[in-house]
């Protein structure tokens, strides 16, 4: 018996969706033009919310653009 998925706040369960287009992420204006054709299932941010890092889903107003760290010189 499969355990039911328990999604976090502001998340919805989606079955067999493109992993690159299943949810919006902070820093993205919209979905990428080319969606991967894979079949991912799991919890994704609900419509109108953005994935912040790999953690919670937040409204766009809470997406703080983190400055890019300079690459260390080899």
Domains of the chain as residue ranges with CATH: 1-47 (2.10.25)
Phi, psi at residue 60, to the nearest 5°?
-55, -30
pLDDT of residue 3: 62
What's residue 68's pLDDT?
A: 59
List, for the chain, all residue ranges whose pLDDT scores fall below the cut of 70.
1-4, 29, 31-32, 65-71, 74
pLDDT of residue 54: 84
pTM of the model: 0.72
* Rounded CA separation 24/48 (Å): 8
Burial of 40 (0-12, 13-18, 19+ CB in 10 A): middle
């Amino acid at each position: 018996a499969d355990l039911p998925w328990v999604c976090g706040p502001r998340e919805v369960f989606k079955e067999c969706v493109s992993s690159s287009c299943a949810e919006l992420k902070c820093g993205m204006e919209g979905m990428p033009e080319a969606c991967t054709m894979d079949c991912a299932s799991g919890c994704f941010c609900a419509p109108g919310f953005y994935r912040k890092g790999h953690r919670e889903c937040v409204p766009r107003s809470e997406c703080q653009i983190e400055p890019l760290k300079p690459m260390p010189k080899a």
